[in-house]
Structure 1
Amino acid sequence: MSEKIEVENFTSPGRIQRVDKAKYTAMREAVLRHIPSAAPGAAPSELIAAVKSDLPQDLFPGGEKAGWWFKCVQLDLEAKGILRRATKPPVRLHKV
């Protein structure tokens, strides 16, 4: 059984989920390497494409499920105040 980590959800305050720690950690590190530090930031689709090459193949073979894990990390980091969305659409993300 894999080790789990609790994550928060920006769109559902107070909701906690338990997810695979190794996959979460790998995605989090990749996201934080690629996400811009200044507004307006980058679109999620741009970030997903950028992080795929940084992900371990044993956890994400061929980038499999990268979109789901990106969203998981994005919502958790937004809930923790590490990432912020641009104030106007479309969704663009940057570090706080």
Structure 2
Amino acid sequence: MADMIEIENVNTPGKTTRVNATKYADMRAALEKAVPRDSPGLNQNEIREAAKPLLSEDLFPQGKTCGWWAKTVQLDLEAKGLLIREATKPLRWHWK
């Protein structure tokens, strides 16, 4: 079984979930490169599309499941205070 890590979700404080550590790390590294450091940031679709070419083809063949992983990692990083959610429509995120 793959190594697992506990993650948080900004929308459900205090609750944790266990996910594949390798896929999490790959997506986090992609988000660290794809998401800007400053406002105006990227919306969810832009984050997914910017991260997709940065992912391991072995872990995410043809970008499969990258949307779910991008959102999962984004929510965890936001819960940890590392990503900032801007008060815009559509929502946008950037690094703290």
The CA distance in 2 between the partners of 1:6 and 1:95, in whole Å, is 21
Identity of aligned residues (%): 46
Structure-to-structure mapping, 1:44-55, within 5 angstroms:
44-55=44-55
Aligned residues: 96
What stretches of structure 1 move > 4 A for 4+ residues in a row?
Answer: none
Q: Deviations over 1:18-70 (max 9, x none)?
A: 00000000000000111011112111101111111111111100000000000
The alpha carbon displacement at 1:88 in A equals: 2.6
RMSD in angstroms over aligned alpha carbons?
0.7
SS in 1 for 2:19: strand
- Report what 1:7 is aligned to: 7
SS in 2 for 1:51: helix
What residue identity is the alignment partner of 1:15?
Answer: K
TM-score (norm 2): 0.97
SS in 2 for 1:52: helix
What are structure 1's unaligned runs of at least 5 residues? none
- Report what 1:22 is aligned to: 22
TM-score (norm 1): 0.97
Structure-to-structure mapping, 1:28-43, within 5 angstroms:
28-43=28-43
The CA distance in 1 between the partners of 2:57 and 2:35, in whole Å, is 21
- Bigger shift: residues 6-15 or 80-89: 80-89
The alpha carbon displacement at 1:93 in A equals: 0.5
The CA distance in 2 between the partners of 1:34 and 1:52, in whole Å, is 9
